[in-house]
Structure 1
Amino acid sequence: MFRSVREDVRAALERDPAAKSAIEVALCYPGLHAVWFYRVAHVLWNRNFHLTARLLSQFARFLTGIEIHPAATVGRRLFIDHGAGVVIGETATVGDDVHMHHGCTLGGNDPRPVKRHPTVEDGVVLGANVTLLGAITVGENAAVGAGAVVVDDVEPDQTVTGVPATPVDEVS
């Protein structure tokens, strides 16, 4: 647990040039607080304390403005920059070293209890107000530009922008 907290703080210090110290990051970064609450809620969820996990995730949402469903799968060193308005749905998967800006939604588009939220692989950068919808995959080290709406898979190392999102080299 303490190792992952140190990793999270270190990742924020590396990715945010405004971060001045580890203590500032630990005390003042709501994206980290939301991830830490999520980790506790996720353990509770996996032990079938679903209501307690949901209550904890809603408390975290109230405090941070960030909603991470306790059933979602979140990797190591997720950095949610500024954070307000981020939503990570129940069947979403977020890999390691993902950098997510404020307003991102990893949303579902199927009312059935199936894999209906995105998979975001390792090293992805999601710009502000990005919307990822459905059981799509954003490949390793891809980037999604601010305000993009992604409804199809994104290849590894690819940058997409727009509504609907298209690869940068295809934007007219």
Structure 2
Amino acid sequence: MFSRLREDITSIIQKDPAARNAWEVITCYPGFQAIVMHRCAHWFWLRGFKWLGRFTSHVARVLTGIEIHPGATLGRRVFIDHGFGVVIGETAEVGDDCTIYQGVTLGGTSLSRGTKRHPTLEPGVIVGAGAKVLGGFTIGAGAKIGSNSVVVKPVPAGATAVGNPAHVVKKEGAQSEAGAAQLFSAYGVTQNSDDPISKVLHKLIDHAVSQQEQIEKLTQAVSHAGIRCDNPDMKDKIDPKQINILVD
């Protein structure tokens, strides 16, 4: 037990530059306190003391603002940062080295008892503040869920999901396992990770501008051939810079 506590404290100090020492983590980090209390509640739950497990979970919620059902499974070195408003459902599974920020919900969309209703987070997943992961599917290892995203379908390993509903952006380029283990993106934010919808819109705008230029060239060629063509209204021309600013 004490080895797992040391792991948790070390992981928090590594991931949070505001954490100065172990005593500060133990006394001032509600995420750490909630996980310790959850382990007690989970122990009761697995041994048939259901009410005692739920009551321990309830006390933890009152003290920390974090609600973890005693039936949920949490791995090693899970870090709940800030934590207020985090809700983790009964059949949720959180893998080793996952990071969850405030306001996150790992929720279920089914009322069927005895079924897998809540998501599974594989090792190394980062879930940004306010994100909602709803359903009994799997978020792949090392995936990142952007802040305030609403995820309702599986996310591949190493990918980033952003938006409402969330759109998946696959990670560009291969990366070694050692490099992936050292990579940490606070709040699920990655460098140069544009919204996939905006990327598609930018491509459509560029395509429309290219077509506009081709039409102008064809119109000029037809006019030189002696065929009369009405000149297009210059006011209706697409201004790519103006539209791209609106899309960004």
Per-residue Cα deviation, 1:97-123 (whole angstroms, up to 9, x for no partner): 001100000000000111000001100
Per-residue Cα deviation, 1:105-157 (whole angstroms, up to 9, x for no partner): 00000001110000011000100001000101110000000000000000000
> 2: distance between equivalents of 1:48 and 1:149?
34
Greater fraction strand? 1
Q: Does 1:40 align with 2:37?
A: no
Q: How many percent of aligned residue pairs carry the same amino acid?
A: 51
> 1: distance between equivalents of 2:149 and 2:81?
17
Matched ranges for 1:1-172 at <5 A: 1-113=1-113, 114-168=115-169, 170-172=196-198
Deviation, 1:78, is: 0.5
Give the TM-score normalised by structure 1.
0.98
Which structure carries more relative contact order (alpha carbon 8 Å, separation 6+)? Answer: 1
CA RMSD of aligned residues (A): 0.8
Which 5+ residue runs of structure 1 have no aligned equivalent?
A: none
- Give the 3-state SS of the residue equivalent to 2:153 in structure 1: coil
- Give the 3-state SS of the residue equivalent to 2:133 in structure 1: strand
2:50 alignment partner AA: H
> 1: distance between equivalents of 2:59 and 2:23?
23
> 2: distance between equivalents of 1:171 and 1:63?
41
> 1: distance between equivalents of 2:17 and 2:197?
30
Instruction: Count matched residues.
Output: 172
Which 5+ residue runs of structure 2 have no aligned equivalent?
A: 171-195, 199-248
> 1: distance between equivalents of 2:50 and 2:3?
26
Per-residue Cα deviation, 1:16-57 (whole angstroms, up to 9, x for no partner): 011111110111000000000000100000000000000000
